[in-house]
Structure 1
Amino acid sequence: MKKKGLYWILGILGACILTAGVAYGVKYAMDGRTDKTSNEVATETKVEEAEVKQQLEKTDMTESAVIDMMHKMTHQKVKADQKWGAIPMSVENATKVRDAIKASDFKNKVALLEIAERWVQRDFSKVDQDHNYFWKIQGGTIGKAEGILSKTEELKFARRNYEDQIVQKLLEVGDLVEK
């Protein structure tokens, strides 16, 4: 009889734990869903110009820091369910990254340099593949790029995620196109 009571209590306790786990899982999944489109960055603050300059002007950048910056640069151009962070994709920023790679002895130097050289030439035809290369190196599990944004979608992304002065500068130098 005591065994039966113990099984009954353990069964109720197990059901409570299972219910709590399912409730937590549903809440966790729903917290990740907002009214944002797949083209928006998961952060709420807009990227500030000073912050970008500070990141890109470091002379002692590690390979992981360069990969992280390049990954964030791709967010302006790719379709993905989730994106964390953004750095403006500009010829100026691509040149700074390329120069840092050239001066390095990174393990992935050849591949990184090939990507940066394309970006300096404003060739973004493989930017979704570039994104997924960085995403994979960084151990990505969600947010895989599923294509390239249209010019209109890219401009919308920039306006949502960068300060107005950054967007204006990107438009003036031709790194963004207004349609």
Structure 2
Amino acid sequence: MKLKRFVQISVGLTVAVLIAYGGFKLAQSGLETSVEDLNQEEVDGEPTNGKPEEVEVVLKVTNNEDLDELFPDTMSEYDMQEAIHYMSHGLVQANQKWGKIELTEDRVERLLYVAEFNKDTYTHGNRYITILMGWNNGDFSNAVDDHNFIWGLWNGTVGKATRLLTSDEIKKYNSENFN
């Protein structure tokens, strides 16, 4: 009688262990698959493998605009921050955006000149130059960091940039705001 009970308990425990082990392996393989799948899939249109999408930004040339008046040599540091910040809104996703300035070739070049002219008087002059040089060279890959740098200087609590807009989203933003 005791042997029969021992065998029943042993078989029961063995089955329970095998079921638990099988469930663990199944869950583990499911997690591995999920991680692999996430590396291949996109979330909100962005690759999740750590490589941002190449964003194509076509900058307009500004015609008949007095850039010296719009962005004077004596531009305050706050106005420089505001111009960079507002231009970056056309490049980044954020849950709130206040202010907009169209990002154009001429404006970037003029702001770069003003930033270089004032680099010794601006607290963050070298950073503005770095941002604007990148944009002037067609590199917008750091626009999220560029936006959030200014946002942080202003002690932002709402509207932190979370990702770059896709090329289509940039076109849509520009058509909705500047055409």
The TM-score with structure 1 as length reference comes to 0.60
Aligned to 1:36: none
Aligned to 2:84: 70
Q: Give the CA deviation at 1:53.
A: 4.8
Gap change, CA 1:55 and 1:134, over 3 Å in 2: farther
SS at match of 2:162: strand
Contact 1:91–1:121 (Cα < 8 Å) also in 2 = no
Quick one: which amino acid aligns to residue 76 of structure 1?
Answer: G
Aligned to 1:136: 152
1:9-28 map, 5 Å: none
SS at match of 1:89: coil
Mapped partners of 1:89, 1:58: distance in 2:
17
Mapped partners of 1:53, 1:143: distance in 2:
28
Mapped partners of 2:144, 2:153: distance in 1:
14
Contact 1:52–1:87 (Cα < 8 Å) also in 2 = no
1:96-175 map, 5 Å: 96-104=110-118, 105-162=121-178, 164=179
Contact 1:56–1:96 (Cα < 8 Å) also in 2 = no
Which blocks of at least 5 consecutive residues in structure 1 are unaligned? Answer: 1-48, 165-179
Aligned to 1:91: 105
The TM-score with structure 2 as length reference comes to 0.60
SS at match of 2:93: strand
Aligned to 2:36: none
Q: Give the CA deviation at 1:95.
A: 0.8
Mapped partners of 1:55, 1:125: distance in 2:
29
- How many residues are paired up? 115
Q: Give the CA deviation at 1:127.
A: 0.3
SS at match of 2:73: coil
Q: Give the CA deviation at 1:59.
A: 2.7
Which blocks of at least 5 consecutive residues in structure 2 are unaligned? Answer: 1-62
Contact 1:56–1:93 (Cα < 8 Å) also in 2 = no
